[in-house]
Amino acid sequence: MTNTYTTLLNGKQLATDLEIELIETIQNLSAKVGRPPGLAVIMVGSNPASVAYVRNKELACKRVGILSFSSHLPASTSQSELEILIEQLNNNPQVDGILLQLPVPPHLDERTLLYRIDPDKDVDGLHPENLGRLVRGEPGLQSCTPAGVMRLLAAHKIKLSGLSAVVVGRSILVGKPLSLMLLAADATVTMAHSRTHNLSAVTRAADLVIAAAGKPNLINAEMIRPGAIVVDVGINRIEGPDGKSILIGDVNFQALQGIASFLTPVPGGVGPMTVAMLLHNTVWSYRARHGLL
C-alpha cells in the first residue's frame, strides 16, 4: 500500500486555456493577413466515432475563429474523387490545414491519400516529410496527439530530461512520433508493444508510462511503480453496467489512484489536447505560409 498523492493532468482545462490564447492570436494575425486561418476536414462515410470527432473539431474551429472548409462525403466516394479534392485544397489559398479523418472506408488507399496532402498543410503531421522533420529535430507540423501529450506534461512542469519513459504502442499516429518527441526532450525511451515479453517488468521500471495500445484497462496497479507518471492515450468505447456505452482508457484509472504521481483521466485528459493541437497546427501553418513565425 502506498500513500502517493495523485495529481490529475487535466487536458480539458489546458485545452480551454490554449483556445483562449489562440482567439487573441488569430484576431491579431487576421488583421495583418486580411483573412482568418482555414482548416479543411475531409470525412468519408459516417463512422459514429469519426462523426463525433469531426463535430468536435469543427466546433473548436468556430470557437477560436478558424474558418472550416469541411467535406462530408458518402462512403462510396472513389479514390480518384478524393485525390482531386485534396489537390483542390492544396491549391486553395484560403486553406492552411488539411485533415483526412481516419479511418477511411476499406476500398480507399489511406496511405496514398495522406501522401497527396501538401506537407505544409498536413496538420495531422502524418506526411513522410513531416515525420522526417521530426526525426531530424527540424521545425514542422507534428502529430496532434503526441504533441498534445508533450504540451500537457510541459504545462505541469514535468521535467523529462533523464527520465526513463515507456511508450506502450508503436503506431505511426501516436507511439512512434511520441517516442521521438520524448527522445528530443532527453528522456530515455523504451517502446513496448503486443510482442513485448513481460510487459509488467518493463513498465514497472519506468518513471513515465504512456499507454497508447488501444486495449481497455491494459495497465493496472501491479504494472506501475509508486510515484511514476502515467499518461493514458487510449479511448475505448465499451458497454457499461447499465448497458449504455462508456469511454475508458488503456489504464485502470481507479486502481492507480494513490500510486501514480500524475495521471490523465479518460475522458478529459489527452483527448481535448489532440483537438487543441490541431488548432495550434493550423495556426502554425497559417503563420508559416505568411512569414509570421
Residues designated catalytic: 57, 101, 124
Give the C-alpha separation, 211 to 234, whole Å: 7
Q: Which helix (H) or strand (E) holds 237?
A: strand 236-239
| 84 labeled binding residue | no
Cα–Cα distances in Å, from 222 out to 14, 26, 256? 30, 46, 9
Rounded to a whole number of angstroms, the CA Rg of the chain reads 19
Helix axes 270-289, 11-33, angle to 10 degrees: 20
- Cell numbers that stand for 55 in this block: 463535430
| 225 labeled binding residue | no
Please, which residues have CB within 8 angstroms of residue 63's CB and are 6 or more apart in sequence? 19, 23
- Cell numbers that stand for 83 in this block: 485525390
**3-state SS assignment for residue 25:** helix
| 235 labeled binding residue | yes
Give the C-alpha separation, 176 to 213, whole Å: 12
- Residue 64 amino acid letter: V
- As annotated, the binding site includes 169-171, 235
- As annotated, the binding site for NADP(+) includes 169-171, 235
